[in-house]
Amino acid sequence: MNLRPISGASVDADGRRGRRARRGSRGLPVLISGALLLAVTACGGGGSGSGTDKDKDADSAQSKQSQAVVTIAPEDGAQSVDTTGALKVSATKGTLTQVVVKDAKGTEIPGKLTGGTSWTPSTHLAASTRYTVHAVAKDSAGRQAAEDSSFTTLTPKNTFVGTFTPEDGSTVGVGMPFSLRFTRGITHPEAVEKAIKITTEPAVEVAGHWFGNDRLDFRPEHYWKSGTKVTVRLNLDGVEGRPGVYGKQSKTVSFTIGRNQVSVVDAAGHTMKVMRDGKVVKTIPVTTGKPGYDTWNGKMVISEKLTVTRMNGETVGYGGEYDIKDVPHAMRLTTSGTFIHGNYWGGGAFGNYNASHGCVGLRDVRGGYDPGVPAAWFFDHSMIGDVVEVKNSHDRTVAPDNGLNGWNMSWADWKK
């Protein structure tokens, strides 16, 4: 390659460059380096080409990101979370499209979506339980944002349970309510009642009624229909029944309504008509409470059956008046001590006059060994939950909470 002399370089007569030319040759790399620098600069996009593509990629990525923001309370990993009121999922700049809350067993917790931007559980949470939350929201462009979280609920220091009747799997009479007695007085009755769900087949409306702060009974408006299957779900685990006191039951109870038997006692006529499906199947002579000890009027449900029991007047305020150690065929009608039972000491009272201290007596033999006597027949043909209605007595109507006797309250009052 021929190079033209650099301006100012000397040349010898023989055509060779002089010293200045040789120094100029040492400057040649500088020119090449400068050319390369120009080339590198051009390749590096000293203009606007490559840098603009990167900006466009960044803008494109940003345009694909959802503007919706999902917030889950309590925060991820939270411990000792309250079982009520603490869990909430919300969305801003978007709409919630999915919220899934599950316990450690994978059971999904139902919830309520409000305005598309807020979700809360429809029920309380169980105590000492880890929950996971998965929530998805969409922005106005349909782009999704998702959040996942987990937390653990509190472990209560104080708890309560409900003892109940009838027992799971039992068959009972048409007057049997589902009755719960709580081990602690309840000051948040609505929370407790909400945690108890009753379903029936065939379907019938069932309502609860509180007697004081430690007893809750459920019944339909009228006696149960024979054959009805009743299922009670006690979802009390985690319910705050009173400040700092939580339920610890999670149980399902089922029972079936047996044949329809209602027996009507006429205290003035000294008889009892045993009816099945409204038809009299047997009339039995009886004796009820004598003057001053009259039997309660009203509808009473058999809550207990005892082949033989001791009856002592001391236990019901009639100190020293009687103490019978072997009363046969006894069935409880009230908590206060009213029974319908066999009587072997009544003489000619049955069907003729009232001689008891408030109970309904049927003729029997001592030891209750004779299956042919009226008391034995009635005992053998009765079950827990059957109804005994007493009429024409001189006493007032039995209190609804004295035994399982809420049928003596109107449906309107029951539901108040």
Catalytic residues, by residue number, are 341, 359
The Cα 154–Cα 279 span in angstroms is 56
Of 248, 44, 263, which is closest to residue 161 (Cα–Cα)? 248
Q: In sequence order, which residues have a C-beta less than 8 Å from that of residue 54 and are 6 or more positions away? A: none
Residue 403's region, left for phi above 0, alpha for psi from -120 to 50, else beta, is left
The Cα 116–Cα 288 span in angstroms is 66
For residue 222 the two structure tokens come to: 């009228």
Burial class (CB in 10 A: 0-12, 13-18, 19+), 87: buried
Position 330: which residue type? Answer: A
Instruction: Give DSSP secondary structure letters for 122-175.
Output: SSPPPTT-EEEEEEEEE-TT--EEEEEEEEEE---SEEE-EEEESPTT-EE-TT
The Cα 82–Cα 103 span in angstroms is 15
Of 361, 329, 358, 333, which is closest to residue 345 (Cα–Cα)? 361
Percentage helix, strand, coil, to 5, in the chain? 15, 40, 45
Alpha helices in 211-356 (DSSP H): none
The Cα 355–Cα 416 span in angstroms is 39
Q: What is the DSSP letter of 313?
A: G
